[in-house]
Amino acid sequence: MAVLHTIHTGLTVYDLSHMQAFFRQVLGADIGEVRQIPVGDTLGHITGVPGAQACVCMVTLPGGHVVELLQYSAPASATPAAPRPCDIGAAHLALRVESVADTAGRSQAYGFTVAGQMQYLPGGPFAGQWVAYVRDAQGFTLELIGSA
């Protein structure tokens, strides 16, 4: 059986309204309505996390990729610190942007910082492009790829 197409990328966030504003103001995403997953075992059964409760919002990035932002209200997060990019289970979302420096700079107003340094890629699939990881204090990571 083959994959027919992607549907969305789900990302757990610390503060849903803050991330909605970031996705809208910095990334130009269309923001869907916030849905509270009904109290019950539905989310727990789907995720394998008993008692899971969350608010969910679908955001659509320019180009059509959909990101599902989830803010869990229960149970409490088991991770005491933000994962590093090299930690098992860590994830990032890669985005092609017009200007890596401009997007990284605008991200600062939302608590993001460049994780390392902006780098020029001389070879590989993104040859001639610039790249930077931007992360917030909770470890939410975006990879920005584009012109300087």
Q: What is the pLDDT of residues 98-122, one digit of tens each?
A: 999 999 999 999 999 999 999 999 9
Say what the pLDDT of residue 89 is.
85
Q: What is the CATH number of the domain that holds 119?
A: 3.10.180.10
DSSP codes of every residue in 93-141: EEEEEEEHHHHHHHHGGGT-EESS--EEE-SSTTTTEEEEEEE-TT--E
pLDDT tens figures, 42-98: 899 999 999 999 999 999 999 999 999 999 999 998 887 888 899 888 999 999 999
Are both 61 and 114 inside the same structural domain? no
Domain termination residue (choose one: 24, 44, 74) = 74
Instruction: For residue 3, tell me if it sits in a domain.
Output: no
pTM to 2 decimals?
A: 0.92
Q: How far apart are CA 9 and CA 118, in angstroms?
A: 25
Q: Based on the domain organization, do 16 and 63 belong to the same domain?
A: yes
18 and 68 together in one domain: yes
Total count of domains within the chain: 2
Count CA atoms within 13 Å of residue 125 on its CB side: 2
Question: Are both 104 and 67 inside the same structural domain?
Answer: no
Domain span at residue 107?
93-147
- Residue 51 is assigned to a structural domain of this protein: yes
